[in-house]
Each structure stands twice: as structure tokens, then as C-alpha cells.
Structure 1
Amino acid sequence: MNKVNKLTVLGRAVGGRASAAGIGLTTQRRLLQPAMLGLNSASKLQRFPHKLAGHFPLPALAVSGTRLLSGLAQDVPAEDPVHPKKFLPNDVVLYQYEACPFCNKVKAFLDYYDIGYKVVEVNPINKKEIKWSQYKKVPILTVDGEQMVDSSDIINKLFQRIHPEKYLDSVPDGDEERKWLGWVDNHLVHVLSPNIYRSASEAIESFDYITTHGNFSFTERIIAKYGGAAAMYFVSKKLKKRHSITDERAALYGAAETWVDALKGRKFLGGLEPNLADLAVFGVLRPIRHLKSGRDMVEHTGIGEWYSRMEAAVGESSRIKV
């Protein structure tokens, strides 16, 4: 019975400017090459030029009579009081479950902003990887040793450090963005579990994904795949009742279409570029995209085009392999 309870917890986790100064004798733009930026690849920089401007503000350099040598030697720019130093953490570690929607919210944010991070996969049965923390849920993010918890709070804190000028009132940009961020946590995530575990075969498919990507021994993998699938099949029925869902797929399709309607013909809710709500919806849906529920959602709703645009905008993972 204790194992079933632990597997239930496991299953629930699835369902965590640059502005150019005038060019004169004493100013010169910095020459950058993709290999010097710490990005995943040159192609990512070429495909997403907006990330260069957002991630590497380039104040004009005081040359003071020196010249660049072979495009590498350059003077150190003076501190710019108007454009504070860019948020560039040295060590970011995400403690997660691979299939957790809240963890994937955080990963979508980190990937979009090209913040390199290491991943520690937490075993959901014994949680030995986070015994050091008083917080016993995921995601947990450590940034240069500072612990952050709760996906929404993590993202808010990181966004504030990346864009301090947009957080003068300590809130995200605009009521629309804030409204849809709340919708993700209070509605969208609740329609996932009843769909992921809608039938025995879908429950097994989901746990096959979880155990393949999770931190399990061979024995734990077998127990979790079949025992967890059985447990979550019944738990999902309770969740369905709790959230007044009568038809699982109808609820999922309705949520997808609600989001598409919110776009109002825009590429993203944020306009030409994704905002925090775009990243949250994308992150939550990413774990189910290639499961049956996600395939059905794309087939029967208009969310597929937006999802593809988000895949391109977020780009390659910023995860650091260790």
C-alpha cells in the first residue's frame, strides 16, 4: 500500500539593447562570435537573433586609442548605470521529475533565455536527491547556491533579475499576461492527468515515458511502470470528479482552443515574441506533446501552429550535460 501511495505521488507530478552608440573615434561595437557567447551552437544564434539582444546587452566600448587585435583584444567597458550588469549565473541546478509539467515550465524559461543549467533527476519514490532541502517537492532550482522553489516563484525571480526594468511594480507586464499565468496553474494543469491516464493503455504509455527518462533502477522501473500506471488510472478518476470534468478530451480540447482564442491572431500572447504566459503554457504541454493525449490535442484543435512557433522560439535545450 505504501508503494502505491508513492507511485501516486509520482503520477501526480506528471499531471515541475543593445543600442548602438554613435560610431566615432572613441567608440566601437564589440565583435562577437557564437563560440564566445556560450550558446549551444552558432545555428541557434542565427535562428534566434532576438536572444542575442536580450541576453547580451552591449554598451559602447571606450577604446582610448587602442585597436582590436585580430578581433579579440578589447578595452573593458565602464559600468553603465542605465543598463545594469546582465544576469549571468555561474551555477544553475534544477532538481526535477522529467515529466513534471511544473518542472517543464521552468525548463522552458531557462531554455528560452539561454541560461545553462544542470539537471538532477529526483527519484520520486525515495526523493534521496533532495533530502538536503526542507522543501520536499519539485521543482527546486539552485542559482549560485541560492535555493528557489515553486515554478511560478522561480520564474518571477529569474525574470526580475533578467529584466529589472520591467519589474518596477513587482508584477509581470500587463494584466493579460498575469491572467493567463494564473490560468495555467489553476486550470490547464488540472485537465492533464485525467487525459494522460484516461485509459489503461494511455497510463502505461505515460509511465513508460516517465520511467525511461526518470531516475529509476531496473526493479523500480518495472514497479513504477505497471504499478504506477494502475494507481494513477484510478487516481485520475478522482481528479476528474474533483475538477468537474465530464469528458477528458473535451476538457483538453477546450483548454487548447481557449488559449488559441486568447492569442487573437497574434503569433504569441506576447505579440512578436513569447511572454511568460506563452512559456508557461508551452512548458506545461511539452511533456504530453508526443503522448496520445498530446497528439490528439494537436490533431483536433488549432494549437499546433502556435506550439510549432514556440518550439522554434525556445530553441535547443540549454541543459548542460554532466
Structure 2
Amino acid sequence: MNRVTSLAALRRAAAATASLSRNQAAPLSSSSFTTPHFLPRRLIHHSGSASSASHSLSPNSIAGTMFFSVAAAASLSQEAHAKESLHSNLFNDVVLYQYEACPFCNKVKAFLDYHNIPYKVVEVNPISKKEIKWSDYKKVPILTVEGEQMVNSSDIIESLYKKMHPEGSSMNTEEEKKWLRWVDDHLVHVLSPNIYRTAGEALESFDYIASHGNFGFMERMMAKYAGATAMYFVAKKLKKKYNITDERESLYQSAETWVDALKGRAFLGGSKPNMADLAVFGVLRPIRHLQSGKDMVEHTRIGDWYARMEKVVGESCRVIV
């Protein structure tokens, strides 16, 4: 009954937003909510690989259970502190153009935070995108380092890693590469059907998006109510597209699959995170305190790994300007 009531409320809200100016509503309804990922394409406007960056939606279209002693916990803490001074002075004038809730932007932020690389943030308005009009690339994340533009989350991370390791050491092991692909090809597709699973969860998700995004007042209201309404129905199409029978079970299975991949290790990288650890953490971070994220931690073994990741990644290195 509550679900029906919430859905009815969403529909009434959508009807109310229809009375807004067509010039305001059109960009939001026509292209802002057509992505197969966590957020609408115009709210993320990015995918994990260059080949899929232009996809738009069409109808056809987790930690371990190890017990850590005080000594082990202290060791992890020391590693976290040791990494803080390693790369902090290597990059100057780093600026991230992003949407706050975008999982791919959060992949980049997890890398920057873990490596203690200070960065400024420019929150892009997902409708006007005036903050990135200077660039020919109209998706996020965009990262500039001393004015040099980098695009695509995986490419950005690889470029930064190579600058940190100019001796030419390999960025990824085969295991790492396998799970990096898994993040972009599987994990991200499980998120949307979960965070927009019910009318209430759709509103919860868009309340977060609207409150953290770069919106004007009217845009914020449109994003919250019209966006939640649209994505509630889009999520149903995504569920069918990716052959998801039960949204929560799919999320739980993904979390358990990741925990199994750890094979009893603190991180996939062993005693410290590797790029796959950071990618999974980054993608999951935006949903952690939504209902779907709470359920995931409560019903799977991923919570311990996630807590370790929070500790070693540490505080944000975002520079407030």
C-alpha cells in the first residue's frame, strides 16, 4: 500500500513539473535520464570505457570475514599514514569536473584521496554544463592537471599512475585487470535497479542527487521529483535489459562475489588496496548510506572490507576554495 501511495505521489509530482516552462523541462526529461548506470546519463554522462561512453538507454537497450588482531589493525593504520606523503607533491593544480553522486567520478576521487593528491572540485550543472563549455569533451569526469585535460575515469587513473611510476612498472596484474573490467561491465549495472527499486528509494536517491548537485532551485525540484519518477520506470527497463530477476539478490550476489575474490586477504591487493579495490570502493561509496547500501552491508560480508577501505583511503583531499 505504501509503495502504491508513493508511486501515486511521484506521478502527481511529475504532473506538477509538467506545468513548468517547456524550455526548462525539456532538457531534463528528454536526455537527462537516459543512462544505464547509477545516475541519469545527463547526471553522470560517462561510462567505464570509451567505447561505451555514448550509449543511451533504449527499451532493448562486497569485506572478508577475517578477524584482525590489534597488531594487524595497527599495521594497516601505519600503511595508511605512510602513503600520505608519497605523492602529495607530485601533482599541482589538480581540478576535477564532476557530478557529486556519479560513481565514475567517485572512482577518480577514491584514487586521489588514497594517494593523498589534493584536488579542487568544480560541480558541473548537469543541465547547462556551462562549467565545461571550455572543453570539447562534454562528459564527466574531466580532470585537469596544470591545465592538461584528462577524460574517462579509467584513462585518468592510468595516466596518474604512470606519472607516479615513471619507471614503467605495470599498473595492473591480470587479477586486477579482471576485476577492473568487472566493475565497469557488471557492478555499475546492478546499482540503478537497486537505488530506484521502489518509488520511495527513487525519491531518496534523487534527494541526495538534488542536494549535492549544482542546481538552481527550480532545477533542483525538477531533478528530485521528475528525475525520481523517470528513473523509477527506467530502472524496470534496466532490470530486464541486464536479466536481473531480483534487484537486491543481484546486489548481494555481486557483493559476495567481490568478497570471494579477496580469498581471505584484507584487500584484493593483499596488505594494501590495489586499483580494483579502489574502483569497487569508489563506485559503491555514493550508495553506501542509501537504503540499498545499508541493505547490502547488513545482508552480505562486504562491510568489513568496506570499513577497511574507508580507513586506508582516509579523509578527502578535496581543497575547498
Q: State the TM-score, normalizing by the size of structure 2.
A: 0.77
Structure 2: distance between partners of 1:14 and 1:89: 26
- The reply on whether 1:148 has 2:150 as its aligned counterpart is yes
Q: Deviations over 1:47-91 (max 9, x none)?
A: 85435654646xxxxxxxxxxxxxxxxxxxxxxxxxxx9861210
Higher helix share: 2
The amino acid across from 1:11 in the alignment is: P
Q: Deviations over 1:234-260 (max 9, x none)?
A: 111111111111111111001000000
Contact 2:80 2:312 in 1 (8 A): no
- By relative contact order (CA 8 Å, sep 6+), the higher-ranking structure is 2
> Paired residue for 2:320?
321
Query: For residues 32-43 of structure 1, what are the structure 2 equivalents within 5 Å?
Result: none
The amino acid across from 2:122 in the alignment is: V
Per-residue deviation, 1:179:
0.6
The amino acid across from 1:261 in the alignment is: D
- The reply on whether 1:135 has 2:137 as its aligned counterpart is yes
Contact 1:15 1:190 in 2 (8 A): no
Structure 1: distance between partners of 2:93 and 2:220: 30
After TM superposition, the runs of 4+ consecutive aligned structure 1 residues lying more than 2 A away are 9-16, 46-57
Structure 2: distance between partners of 1:134 and 1:116: 25
Query: For residues 245-260 of structure 1, what are the structure 2 equivalents within 5 Å?
Result: 245-260=244-259
> Paired residue for 1:31?
none
Candidates 100, 103, 106, aligned match of 1:104:
106
Unaligned runs of 5+ in 2: 1-25, 47-74
Q: Deviations over 1:262-293 (max 9, x none)?
A: 00000000000000000000000000000000
> Paired residue for 1:185?
184
- The reply on whether 1:5 has 2:30 as its aligned counterpart is yes
Q: CA RMSD in A?
A: 2.1
The structure that has the greater radius of gyration is 1
The amino acid across from 1:185 in the alignment is: D
Unaligned runs of 5+ in 1: 17-45, 58-84
Structure 2: distance between partners of 1:174 and 1:156: 13
- The reply on whether 1:237 has 2:236 as its aligned counterpart is yes
- The reply on whether 1:206 has 2:231 as its aligned counterpart is no
Structure 2: distance between partners of 1:320 and 1:87: 14
> Paired residue for 1:227?
226
The amino acid across from 2:259 in the alignment is: V
User: What secondary structure does 2:193 align onto?
Assistant: helix
Query: For residues 59-138 of structure 1, what are the structure 2 equivalents within 5 Å?
Result: 88-138=90-140
Q: State the TM-score, normalizing by the size of structure 1.
A: 0.77
Structure 1: distance between partners of 2:146 and 2:128: 26
Structure 2: distance between partners of 1:86 and 1:208: 34
Structure 2: distance between partners of 1:14 and 1:209: 14
Structure 2: distance between partners of 1:317 and 1:140: 18
1:86–1:308 distance in 2 versus 1, CA, 3 Å: closer
Structure 2: distance between partners of 1:86 and 1:98: 23
The amino acid across from 1:256 in the alignment is: A
1:305–1:14 distance in 2 versus 1, CA, 3 Å: farther
Contact 1:7 1:231 in 2 (8 A): no
